[in-house]
Amino acid sequence: MSAYLEITGLNAVLRGTRTRVLRDVSLSVSKGQVHGLVGESGAGKSMIGKAILGVLPRAIEVASGRISLGGQDLGVLPLRERLRVIGSQTAVIPQDPLTALNPSRRIGPQMTDRLTRTLGWQKTRANHRALDLLEEVAIRDPERVLHSYPHELSGGMRQRVLIAAAFAAEPKLIVADEPTTALDVTVQKQILKMIADMQTRHGTTMLFVTHDLGVVARVCQSVSILHSGMVMEEADIRTMLTAPAHPYTAALLAATPRYTDPEASLVPVSDTVLAGVAEAIRASDTLWGRA
Amino acid sequence: MLKRLLLRLISIAITLLGVSIVVFVAVRLVPGNPVAMMLGPGATAEDAAALEALLGLDKSILVQYWIWLTNVVQGDFGTSISLRQDVLTLVLGRLPATLELAFLALVFAALLGGMLAVTGTIRRGGWTENGIDLWNGLTLSTPDFLWGLFLILVFGVWLQIAGISGRISPQLDLPFTTQFYLIESVLRLRFDLTANLIGHMWMPALALALPLSAMIGQLLKQSLKETMHLDYVTLARAKGFTENQVIWREAMRNALAPTLTLTAVQFTHLIGGTVIVERLFSYGGLGNLAIDAVINRDLPLIQGIVLVFAVIFVLINLAVDLLYAVLNPRLRHG
């Protein structure tokens, strides 16, 4: 199986400084696979997705490293060309459905503008596509939804719209940025299953950003564990769950709440493990400082 | 909806009534009286008394106000004391010139301010933005009449490339049937006249526009920059859209509301500014007429002009409220 997404030695820094927010990140995701990016908040997991799509905040810039999609190195492309590749081959399922839709535009154009503007589709064809996808995410009255404004839809509906929109251009890669975090627990499971089903059906490669190891176990085939913008461990899901190589991974697994014994399962990550993590980061920073 | 509209109309009527009272009292409180202005220093007390009686100025202020108000409601604004003409005819004859100047200034301010805001947003955090901030600070802190003098000095006196007075070259043969010269010249396809009009109007319009363009530029830039951090903008970027496309398609509409309010409020200021700027450029509009009216203590004319200005302000505010509903779909079914 060939790797679709490949990141090698990616370093991102606060603009104009040598302070790193992503530390020598390397990972590869095979075509059609779901790769989890797991870490505590601030571990840099969303940052990796943003770096791939070229939407890093202004204060952060990529200092070195290579990101390639289907063998195409994004870094060497001129801006226009890179935007075209990003626009036609990738998509995002965002974290918060309440803020990810433009409040003053109707759903229809927001779903289809990528198709008509970036890919040059006819308007009617794009609309048909949007209707089909809304049906696929089990929205009952898709015609009406296309003509609605975001504030006329519930949070769950909006997230389904965003999922449908993400698949609209049949992207090769979808970055799912904590797609269920902002939702009610009651709809979380349903949305998660919907994303997983659509990923399987469309055969899309997916980068799944989450802090929830339970979610990872359910949808991902492989996973990278992050701390302070550094990959602690990259492994396939079975290995990670049964025989974690890194003590930090083991500590995270031990800290995952379980229904059977909730009290005992809430173990904080021990100081020894954190000291080990800090040591690894220090070692990497020393190397970086010399470079 | 109908109820809201009705309430709105009632509040407009109250506003105008208030304005009419204030202006009526104010013009009678300021020193100087029209009778002395008309008769000159040699007049006798009897002559003065006779003229006062003729003009109705011997009655109490309440009675005067009541007579004036009942006439105004019937569309009779009285007769100008100094020009001996019907006030309404005078005012309506000059109003189009001022409206055209004010709207041209508004267009200038919106274009210039919008351009500065978009450029500053694309180049945010760099020297270009600092430069724009500096320029906006300069244009904002310099009042419109100083800009007027500055433009006259540079283009009229030093470079001598532009005419500095009037509305249109007097030797031209004018085919116009209305006072809306600019609009009519375009409609009649007489673009030579349009060019001549713009040639006269661009300096006073620019003088009026510069301070407003700075306000629009700064506020819109600020709103745009805040909008550019929002999730839906990031999402649009990930669709392969350029920064420029993202600003115009996603951010502009949502960032526009505060700027629109400010522009409306400041546009009324701009119309107020026409009074002095029209005088500077000898532009034959309402503002120029207003200054003459004040100098001559022409009470009916001052009252008529102020009331017309008040009506314009009220209408502008109404138009802005309606525009909100167009921009923000959430307000439409309120």
Partners of B125 on chain A (C-beta within 8 Å) are: 58
- Could you tell me the CATH number of the domain that includes residue B138? 1.10.3720.10
Shared domain check, B157 and B211: yes
**Nearest CA to CA, how far is B118 from chain A (Å)?**
17
- The 10s digit of each residue's pLDDT in B248-262 is 989 998 898 889 888
**B53: pLDDT strictly greater than 50:** yes
- The 10s digit of each residue's pLDDT in A98-142 is 899 999 899 999 999 999 988 889 999 999 999 999 999 999 999
Shared domain check, B117 and B23: no
- The 10s digit of each residue's pLDDT in A178-208 is 988 878 888 888 899 999 999 999 999 999 9
Asked whether residue B78 is assigned to any structural domain, the reply reads: no
Asked whether residue B101 is assigned to any structural domain, the reply reads: yes
End-to-end CA distance of chain A: 34
Tell me the two tokens of residue B77.
């604004």
- 3-class SS of residue B104: helix
**B8: pLDDT strictly greater than 70:** yes
Shared domain check, B235 and B110: yes
* Count of CB atoms situated within 10 Å of the CB of A162: 26
Q: Report in angstroms the alpha-carbon separations of A129 from A143, A153, A205.
A: 12, 20, 20
Residue of A84, A92, A117 lying closest to B235 (CB–CB):
A92
Partners of B248 on chain A (C-beta within 8 Å) are: none
Residue reference for tokens 């819109």: B220
Q: Report in angstroms the alpha-carbon separations of B285 from B43, B145, B162, B163, B293.
A: 33, 16, 20, 17, 13
- Could you tell me the CATH number of the domain that includes residue A83? 3.40.50.300
pLDDT: is A272 or B212 the higher one?
B212
Partners of B253 on chain A (C-beta within 8 Å) are: 102, 104-105
- The 10s digit of each residue's pLDDT in A56-100 is 988 899 999 999 999 899 989 998 899 999 999 999 999 888 899
Partners of A56 on chain B (C-beta within 8 Å) are: none
Rounded to whole angstroms, how far apart are CA atoms B55 and B298? 11
- Say if B170 is an interface residue toward chain A (CB within 8 Å): no
- The 10s digit of each residue's pLDDT in B68-110 is 899 988 888 888 888 888 999 999 999 999 999 999 999 999 9
* Residue A36 domain boundaries: 3-290
Partners of A117 on chain B (C-beta within 8 Å) are: 239, 241, 245
**Domain total for chain B?**
2
Residue of chain A with shortest Cα separation from B237: A55
Shared domain check, B66 and B122: no
Residue of A92, A104, A149 lying closest to B254 (CB–CB):
A104
pLDDT at B5: 78
Q: What's the mean pLDDT when you consider all of chain B?
A: 87
Partners of B249 on chain A (C-beta within 8 Å) are: 113
Q: Which residues pair with A5 in a beta bridge?
A: A29, A69
Rounded to whole angstroms, how far apart are CA atoms A48 and B39? 86
Window from A64-78, A254-268, B53-67, B158-172 with minimum mean pLDDT: A254-268
Tell me the two tokens of residue B316.
């502008």
Rounded to whole angstroms, how far apart are CA atoms B122 and B112? 16
- 3-class SS of residue B318: helix
Rounded to whole angstroms, how far apart are CA atoms B55 and B72? 16
**Domain total for chain A?**
1
Rounded to whole angstroms, how far apart are CA atoms B244 and B238? 14
Residue B169: phi and psi, rounded to 5, are: -60, 125
Partners of A114 on chain B (C-beta within 8 Å) are: 239-240
Shared domain check, B160 and B58: no
**A1: pLDDT strictly greater than 60:** no
User: Based on the number of CB atoms within 10 Å of its own CB, is A32 exposed (0-12), middle (13-18) or buried (19 or more)?
Assistant: middle
Residue A12: phi and psi, rounded to 5, are: -120, 140
Q: To probe the interface with B, which of A83, A152, A159, A174 has the most B CB atoms within 10 Å?
A: A83
Shared domain check, B149 and B277: yes
Shared domain check, B248 and B116: yes
Shared domain check, B165 and B286: yes
Asked if the Cβ–Cβ distance from B329 to A149 is below 8 Å, we say yes
Rounded to whole angstroms, how far apart are CA atoms B202 and B195? 10
**B124: pLDDT strictly greater than 80:** yes
Shared domain check, B68 and B96: no
Residues of A with CB under 8 A from a CB of B: 50, 53-55, 57-58, 79-80, 83-88, 90-92, 94-96, 99-105, 113-114, 117-118, 149, 151, 175
Asked if the Cβ–Cβ distance from B240 to A96 is below 8 Å, we say no
**Nearest CA to CA, how far is A55 from chain B (Å)?**
6
Asked whether residue B318 is assigned to any structural domain, the reply reads: yes
**A7: pLDDT strictly greater than 60:** yes
Asked whether residue B85 is assigned to any structural domain, the reply reads: no
pLDDT at A291: 67
* Residue B243 domain boundaries: 90-297+307-331
Rounded to whole angstroms, how far apart are CA atoms A142 and A147? 9
Partners of B227 on chain A (C-beta within 8 Å) are: none
- The 10s digit of each residue's pLDDT in B171-217 is 777 888 888 888 888 888 888 888 888 888 999 999 999 999 999 99
Asked whether residue B302 is assigned to any structural domain, the reply reads: no
Q: Report in angstroms the alpha-carbon separations of A136 from A161, A227, B217.
A: 10, 36, 45
**Nearest CA to CA, how far is A174 from chain B (Å)?**
11
Shared domain check, B47 and B145: no
Asked if the Cβ–Cβ distance from B231 to A91 is below 8 Å, we say no
| pLDDT-derived band at B60, boundaries 50, 70, 90 | confident
Asked if the Cβ–Cβ distance from A92 to B329 is below 8 Å, we say no
Q: Determine the residue type at A198.
A: M
**Nearest CA to CA, how far is B257 from chain A (Å)?**
11
Q: To probe the interface with B, which of A67, A88, A104, A161 has the most B CB atoms within 10 Å?
A: A104
pLDDT at A241: 86
Residue of chain A with shortest Cα separation from B232: A100
- Say if B327 is an interface residue toward chain A (CB within 8 Å): yes
pLDDT at A251: 86
Residue of B125, B238, B327 lying closest to A104 (CB–CB):
B327
Q: To probe the interface with A, which of B224, B229, B231 has the most A CB atoms within 10 Å?
A: B231
Shared domain check, B129 and B51: no
- Say if B232 is an interface residue toward chain A (CB within 8 Å): yes
pLDDT at B332: 63
Tell me the two tokens of residue A118.
């970036």
pLDDT at B334: 43
Partners of B124 on chain A (C-beta within 8 Å) are: 58
End-to-end CA distance of chain B: 9
CA angle A26, A28, A32 (to 5 degrees): 155
Asked whether residue B323 is assigned to any structural domain, the reply reads: yes
Asked whether residue B38 is assigned to any structural domain, the reply reads: yes
Asked whether residue B276 is assigned to any structural domain, the reply reads: yes
* Count of CB atoms situated within 10 Å of the CB of A6: 18
Partners of A101 on chain B (C-beta within 8 Å) are: 232
Shared domain check, B140 and B66: no
**Nearest CA to CA, how far is B235 from chain A (Å)?**
7
pLDDT: is B165 or A233 the higher one?
A233
pLDDT at B1: 66
